[in-house]
Chains A and B, each alone.
Chain A
């Protein structure tokens, strides 16, 4: 299997990372060598193996549905690159 330039560009769209032609080509080469290495897993028959989804054999804990942090609006907005009063600002979405 090879990951061609078209696939790399598609994946970069999904990952929201813009790539120029040169970087896309380099990534295609790198990804192919990494996937060549990953293909080794196909040697193993795993038909009857349960996937490991949690390393600690515990179920996730429930907590009460209660607010535990209050008045943290300023803290949350503090690192925002652009804000307006109590809101994050993004480029215009609706024309």
Chain B
């Protein structure tokens, strides 16, 4: 049998159910590997001792009917975990220990999952490279000094480095799909309203969604089934009939119509991305899908819209960090001075930039010109998709306009960093589900991903397409454990 840490979630569950591996053995393997993988800097907070203890308790009294029986799982440090420090990658929450649990993580523990620890991410999920984290850069296991993508960069790196069998991230503009693409892993952003936002540190509330990140498509379907639930504690949670995503997973996608949007052929897109996309179209055809050219005319307006809507919501959400109720407090000569110093010392550069943009676009006299305008364009972007879905069942695009870049390469130019999310942002603006699967490599052997976008609440279809294409693509990550040498 191959090493425990390199098993997929599905294989690990099977082995645990067949009593070939105990939960404690699995936990030990992941903890041992994490101890040897500090250089990746995936963890912000380790929960190793507790995980080993809980896994033992599971083994003493196992319940194999659970969906994640005794499975150790590390999660992005944006999910509040009861009694376990939750930082959101920020200095301002450096000492924050929640007294409650996010619904999504609670769903995982209810099904037998055990917390391994909290994974690094861009500060308040604002970033595309994990370089804005207060807790330092994360190494992409693919090659040294390469970013793992972001904001769920600790999650994608931990997954690719076999430090966790599966993980969860959050995606506001691409923060699950882009890091998945950069690390040769699978990342799914569900339809807005599928997974509860309760207990997730808020960034942009109308865009934020939690979702699974995994080594293959089947694992994402298993985890989605666990985390997707209607929750009264989230006022935008939607009560719809959820599929049994993993048992309904099929490679029969014959006759499904897949749209190819011409506007995603952006200026300056590298040849290798274009080639990958063409290859993807061929794979989809081989799987029996019908390919249809479509148009999403407002695509190029998505990023500018996003950079009004997301900072505006962020500036409002982050107003709660005032040095009074929790988190960091700096001393000041009066109340206002204390607020200003706390926020200046507690927030990093990118977060300040976005709070400032958000405050500006919502300030008196500018609301109509920016925020209202953006909300109108957002409507047009959503209508583009609505019309496309009259003709097709799903849409196939590249996940990102490039492969992973070097640490430091884009950190001084915010706009060039923002362009990373050009293919993922429209999906958040329209509230749709999207999945990124590894589909090939570039000239440096760095992974490249393809994205499949679905109709609202139709995660099953994009999972099925991804599952079929995955078999044809047959992608294998070639990770050498260089960080252990």
B-binding residues in A (CB < 8 A): 3, 7-8, 11-12, 14-19, 27, 30-31, 33-34, 37-42, 44, 46, 49-56, 58, 60-61, 63, 72, 75-76, 78-82, 88, 90-93
Contact = CB atoms under 8 A, between A and B. Distances in A.
Interface in B311-366: 315, 319, 322-329, 332-341, 343-344, 347, 352-353, 355-357, 359-360, 363
B247 interface: no
B310 to A, nearest CB: 12
Contacts of A44: 298, 301, 377, 380
B192 A90 contact: no
B373 A80 contact: no
Given A11-B363, A34-B307, A44-B301, A55 B430 contact: yes
Contact of B379 (A33, A39, A49): A49
B126 to A, nearest CB: 13
Contacts of A12: 356
Contacts of B308: 38, 41
Nearest to A82: B329
B192 A56 contact: yes
Interface stretch (B55-63, B103-111, B150-158, B231-239): B231-239
A15 B316 CA distance: 9
The 7 closest A-B pairs by CB, nearest first: A79-B326, A51-B375, A55-B431, A81-B329, A75-B99, A18-B340, A46-B376
24 contacts: A7-B360, A14-B363, A16-B340, A17-B356, A31-B353, A33-B414, A33-B415, A38-B304, A38-B308, A40-B301, A40-B304, A41-B304, A44-B380, A49-B377, A54-B236, A55-B206, A55-B382, A56-B192, A79-B99, A79-B326, A81-B327, A88-B325, A90-B324, A91-B335
Interface extent on B, as a size class? 35 or more
Given A3-B360, A37-B415, A16 B336 contact: yes
B359 A11 contact: yes
Contacts of A39: 304
Q: Is the interface of B mostly helix, strand, loop or mixed?
A: helix
B193 interface: yes
B301 to A, nearest CB: 6
A90 B344 contact: no
A81 B339 CA distance: 13
B277 interface: no
Question: Which of B300, B333, B337, B356 has most A Cβ within 10 Å?
Answer: B356
A57 B333 CA distance: 48
Given A16-B336, A55-B206, A81 B353 contact: no
Contact of B338 (A15, A40, A78, A91): A91
A80 B325 contact: yes
Contacts of A37: 303-304, 307, 415, 418
A88 to B, nearest CB: 5
Question: Which of A39, A63, A76, A80 has most B Cβ within 10 Å?
Answer: A80
Interface string B82-110: 00000000000001110110000000000
Contacts of A16: 319, 322, 336, 339-340, 343
Contacts of A53: 375
B370 interface: yes
B365 to A, nearest CB: 11
Contacts of B382: 52, 55
A52 B96 contact: no
B238 A56 contact: yes
A41 B377 contact: yes
B7 interface: no
